[in-house]
Structure formats: C-alpha cells, structure tokens
Structure 1
C-alpha cells in the first residue's frame, strides 16, 4: 500500500490528526493494535479544554460533545475541613472545561473519520517501522486476518503511547529524554456513583490527597494518595469509601459523598516524561509517545490533540505549498506548550499533596493553598494555566 501518511495508534492524537488531514485532502491510514470496541470503551481522561473543543468544532466533530458534555468553570479546594472555590472561567475570559470522557471523544473521531471514507485497521500486531530517515518510510504489520502487509508513506505519525513501537523504533541516543518520578502514587477509582459535586474537588488532609472528578451523570472518578508500592488489592472497597469520606469531610457542612459500585481500581505512579526532539527522520511523535504528564490539571489528552493540530497544519502546508517550515519547527512549537503544562502540573502536585516524609513540604502545600484562596492575582495565574492557553 502507498499512503501519504501512516498513523500508528487510534487514540485522541492519532484520530484527531487523521480527521484533520483527511478533511484537507491528504490520504492516510490508521493502524491500531486494539479492537474498535476496546478503544471506544476504555476509560481514560475526561476533561477537554476550550481550545480542544474549538478545534473539534472546526472539524465538524463536536455536535454530540456540545450536546452532552457538562461545562465547568469552577473548582473547589478543601484543606483540613475547610473549602474554597476558584471560578477560573470568570478569571479567564469565560473559557470553560468540558467534561466528556475520552472514550466518547474517540467514538466521535472514529465515526467522523470512517464516515468520510477513512481507513482504520484494528487488531494489528507485530508492527515494524522501517527506513525512517529515508523519503519513503514504511510500516509493516500483521492484520487481524493474519495477512502480513506493508504501507509505504511520506510520513509516519507515532501516536501509540509510551509503550508503543514508535518511540522505541528510534535509535538509542537520537532523543534526549527527561523523566521525573514524583514519589507519589494514586489509587484511581471509577465508580458507578452519581457525582456528589458540581465542581472538581481537590482535598488535602494530613493523611493525603483525595480528588473527585466528574465523568458523567452516573459515573465518577476518584483519586486517593497512597504509599508508594501500594497494590490495588491492598484496598478493599470499604476502605476506599472510608478514606474518601474522611478526606472530603468538611466542618459545619451538610455535604455528603455518594457511594456506588466500584468498577475499576488501579494504582497510578505519578511521573512525567518528555522527549526532545519529537521527531526522527520522517517519524513524528505525538501524544504519550512523546510526553507523559500527571493527571493533575487534566492536560494529557489536550496536549495530545494540540500535537495533532500542530503536525496537521505542518502537513497541510507541506502538501499545499511545499513549505517544510512547520515540519522543521513542529517539535519546538509543541514543546513550548508541553513544558509550560509540565511546570503547571508540577506546581499543582506540590500544592495538593502531603509529603509524609517531610512535614516542611506539607506546610508549603498549605501555604500555597492559602495564597490561592486569598490572592486575586494568584488565582488569575492559576486560571490561565488551568484552562489552558
């Protein structure tokens, strides 16, 4: 097969790119190791920034999102039983967050791509990237029916995540990698429980952080800070709800936490990772293949979609005018926003967590939260970064 662009990975980055360039007349193919039902149902992120929604609108892919998503412009912080809210939308031009699960974004992107004649190959295996520094790189894979196939293209978009084949196909030493483990782990919980709040809650107690994130009218995401090395099996459902009740507790308030059936429980190692540059030859890395960020601040999916928009514009310029400027500056353009998001995420991590090994840092976290509660200028800076540029 011959295609202009081969997209490896059918997540938000790969599918956004595929829709963008296909609508501009650039032929492409998407290959994905999972089945369609898997990618359309696996729960991941759930918050879209204003800029991401605007881009989906421009592609004609936001109708269901705009009809079904909850819009949020306020978040709540709880510190030792006391609460305050930050109306970040009011502080940053009315821009809001859209709460819309990632799997629903993926459904919309797959539907839009296929409806306009797109080609996605699900359940592929044994993917190999070849001749990446040539003008005609190729991607070989085994299709779902066992047939070995090869696609030759002008460009390869590596959108298959941190553990995918794209990044690992780049020779050792060609990339500079920046990694940081935050020394914090979260027990992440997905429960069939209606939200107990209209705003995301970040709670800090002496025994750690708890988070309440909205996903839908019937499902909620919760986070609990747990000791490093914790296994999901270390926490029974009863212990989870007991800890959540304790960490969300408020003095002099009738607020209550709604419980429900826990349908997912896993441990997340809070880490950050960035590669520079985000390209090698004719291979360009997008999304988690190029950068990992903590869930704090809800930046991951939005950064991935921004990578797709940036690379898509570069490809449109290349095929439309012959200009390679966007391709040459792709990495620099993306990394500027990525590092800004990493800095903000790190700042928030330090603000909402208790460091049991260092009471000093715990008191710093409280000082930051008190500053956020009291200072309009501090809240304005938070709003700009939280909503996204």
Structure 2
C-alpha cells in the first residue's frame, strides 16, 4: 500500500489535515485505532478560536458550525464576590470565539472526508508502528481486519494524541520532553439543561475553581476542581450541583437549572511539550506533541495551528518543491505552542486552589483586581484567549 501522506489518528486534526491536502490533490491514508462511532462520541473541547474557525471553513466543513455554533464576545471572571466581564471583541480588535462541540465538529469532518476520493480512512488499525522516518523511507506497519499491512509514504503526520504511536516511535535520545503535572483535576458534567449564563463563567473560590460552559442553548457543560484522588463514581449528580452552587455567586447560584447528567468524568491537568516536532519524515501534530491545561481552551486550537503550518508546508513542497517551510515547521509551531502553554499555565495558576495557605488566595485576588483595573491587563487576557495570530511569515 502506498500514499503521499500517512496520517496517524482520525480525530479533528488528522481529518482536517487530510481535507486541506486533498484540496490540492495530495492523497493521504488515515489510520485510526478506534471505530468511527467511538471517535465521534468522545467528549472533548467546545471553544474554537478564530484561527480554528477559519481553518474549518477553509477545509469546506463550516456550514453547520456557522449555523449552530454560538459566537461569544466575552466571558466573566468571578473572584472575591466580584463578577468582572472580559470584553473579548472590544479588547482584541473584534475577534470572538465560538462554542461548538468537538463531537459535532468531528461528525462534520467525517461526513466530508469519507466522500473524498483522495482520502482513505482505515478504522480499527492496530499495532501501528512508524519506521524509516529518519532514513527518508517512512513506512507504517499495522494490522487491519486481522491481517498485517504495510503502508509506504512520503511523510507521516502523527495526529494520534498523547498516548499514540507516533511520538512513542521516536528514540528517547532524539527528543526532549517538558512536563508539569497539576495536583488536581476537573470533574466535568454534561446535562440537557439551559446554561446558567449566555457566556462562560470562570470562578476563583476558596473551595476551588469552577467553570460554567455550554455546548448549545439547551446543553450545559460544567466543571469543578477536585483532588486527583477523587473517583467519578463518588460524585452523584446531586452532590455535583450542590457543590457548584456553593462556588457560584448570586444571582447564578439561585438561577442554576439542574438535571440528570448524561456524561461525567474527571480529567487530570498537565502541561507537556516535546521538542522538536519533526523527526526526519515524521511530524507531530496536536496532542502528540503538546498538552495544555484546559483552563485557556487551547488544546484543540493549538492542534489547528499545527495543521495550518504543516498543510501549508506540505502543499509548498508538492506544488513548488520548497523544502524551507517543512524545515521551519517545528520552530514556527513551537513559538505559538509555548505562548499558549504560558497563558494556560498563568490562567490555571490564578484561578485554582493549590493549597490551604490563605495567603495564596489573597495574592490571586490581588492579581485579578489589578488586571481588572488595567485595560492593558484585560487586553492581554483577551488577546490570548481569542488566540494569537498564525505566523504571518509562514507562506
């Protein structure tokens, strides 16, 4: 079996990359360990930056997103009995974010990808092993339908997440990993209830962080900071709603609409970056190369910028024989990645409870009060939240 680009991972980043390449006639084979139903059902991100929105439209799958997605021009910070709104649009030159669940985005991508003659998706591909990428002879061996398979290609895009085969195939002495693990997790709940507010609410509270989000006008997504030792089974719906009310200010606590959950999980928080992102003919994309805490809503959006840079570089190679953008992929992507890691770390550090030391929250409140009095401070938050621009010189 042979193709131009082998893509490991059929999540949003792998699918979007395949579509962007297909527009220029570049063929790809996408290997996915799970079934389509499994991938589509995964509950993931829901906040799209402007860059991600533009990328999805460019890939030709923005119709339902533009019709059903919720554009947000701001969000609220709650701390020390205060409610302060960050005017994203006003402070960032009109930029906004969009609420559109990753599950819905993945469905849209599959609907188009599976009809594209330039793209072949192989589900339930097991024992995936990339080799030869340092020798300019990239090959992927795998098992599909119980039979060993070998895929030869020009380049490999590793879009298979933190636990995937792509980064694992790179010898440890050829990369450097940076990691910070946070001492708490997010207990998330999805419910068919109207959101408590039309915009997101981030809460700094002595009992711990909370976030009020949504997926639509009728579906809410809420989070509570919990210890890593907590088990999701120990949290009943009633216990979750009770704790959320304790952390919310009036009037939100009294107007919160509760109901049975249909998804509940605990996600650990970490910052993780690997350098470089290119290893010969193998390129790491998205969570395969970096993880950020969800506080800044950067995970999926960082994958989008990786896809933008890699698709641009591959198209330049196939259309004009240019090697320079492929050579610059890693350093260009990493500049934006580290900027997002910094913002996500800062937002996490100022909004979460790290200890019972009372001085900690006093310092957090003092920092938040200063930022809310400063237009420059609010602008810094807004610009980072809506997403920094893609590198203008990567053309």
- The answer to whether TM tops 0.5 is yes
CA, structure 1 residues 253+218, in 2 after alignment: closer, same or farther (shift >3 Å)? closer
Partners of 1:339 and 1:127 lie apart in 2 by: 29
Judge conservation of contact 2:196–2:252 (CA < 8 Å) in 1. no
Secondary structure class of the residue paired with 2:153: strand
Partners of 2:209 and 2:45 lie apart in 1 by: 19
Task: Determine the structure 1 residue equivalent to 2:75.
Answer: 75
Judge conservation of contact 1:356–1:362 (CA < 8 Å) in 2. no
Partners of 1:367 and 1:350 lie apart in 2 by: 13
Task: Determine the structure 1 residue equivalent to 2:149.
Answer: 149
Structural RMSD (CA):
1.4
Task: Determine the structure 2 residue equivalent to 1:135.
Answer: 136
Mapping of 1:193-204 within 5 angstroms?
193-204=193-204
May I ask how many residue pairs the two structures share in their alignment? 387
Mapping of 1:189-228 within 5 angstroms?
189-228=189-228
Judge conservation of contact 1:354–1:365 (CA < 8 Å) in 2. no
Partners of 1:358 and 1:328 lie apart in 2 by: 48
Q: Deviations over 1:168-225 (max 9, x none)?
A: 0111111100000122222122222221110101112211111111112232111111
- The unaligned stretches of length 5 or more in structure 2 are 389-395
Q: Deviations over 1:125-175 (max 9, x none)?
A: 1111121212221111111x2222111001011110000111101111111
Task: Determine the structure 2 residue equivalent to 1:237.
Answer: 237
Judge conservation of contact 1:16–1:309 (CA < 8 Å) in 2. no
Q: Deviations over 1:273-297 (max 9, x none)?
A: 0000012121110000000001011
Choose 211-220 or 324-333, whichever is displaced more: 211-220
Does 2:44 correspond to 1:44? yes
Partners of 1:249 and 1:382 lie apart in 2 by: 22
Partners of 1:253 and 1:259 lie apart in 2 by: 12
Choose 352-361 or 3-12, whichever is displaced more: 352-361
Choose 104-113 or 322-331, whichever is displaced more: 104-113
CA, structure 1 residues 253+217, in 2 after alignment: closer, same or farther (shift >3 Å)? closer
Secondary structure class of the residue paired with 2:173: coil
Partners of 1:381 and 1:372 lie apart in 2 by: 9
Choose 95-104 or 351-360, whichever is displaced more: 351-360
Partners of 1:254 and 1:366 lie apart in 2 by: 21
Choose 355-364 or 231-240, whichever is displaced more: 355-364
Task: Determine the structure 1 residue equivalent to 2:163.
Answer: 163
Deviation at 1:381, TM superposition (A): 1.0
Task: Determine the structure 2 residue equivalent to 1:322.
Answer: 321
Task: Determine the structure 1 residue equivalent to 2:306.
Answer: 307
Q: TM-score, normalised by structure 1?
A: 0.96
- The unaligned stretches of length 5 or more in structure 1 are none
Partners of 1:254 and 1:262 lie apart in 2 by: 18
Choose 255-264 or 275-284, whichever is displaced more: 255-264
Task: Determine the structure 1 residue equivalent to 2:14.
Answer: 14
Partners of 1:325 and 1:289 lie apart in 2 by: 23
Choose 225-234 or 207-216, whichever is displaced more: 225-234
CA, structure 1 residues 254+365, in 2 after alignment: closer, same or farther (shift >3 Å)? closer
Task: Determine the structure 2 residue equivalent to 1:30.
Answer: 30
Secondary structure class of the residue paired with 1:98: strand
Deviation at 1:34, TM superposition (A): 0.9
Task: Determine the structure 2 residue equivalent to 1:294.
Answer: 293
Partners of 1:234 and 1:177 lie apart in 2 by: 34
Does 2:300 correspond to 1:279? no
Mapping of 1:263-274 within 5 angstroms?
263-274=262-273
Deviation at 1:254, TM superposition (A): 8.1
Judge conservation of contact 1:191–1:264 (CA < 8 Å) in 2. yes
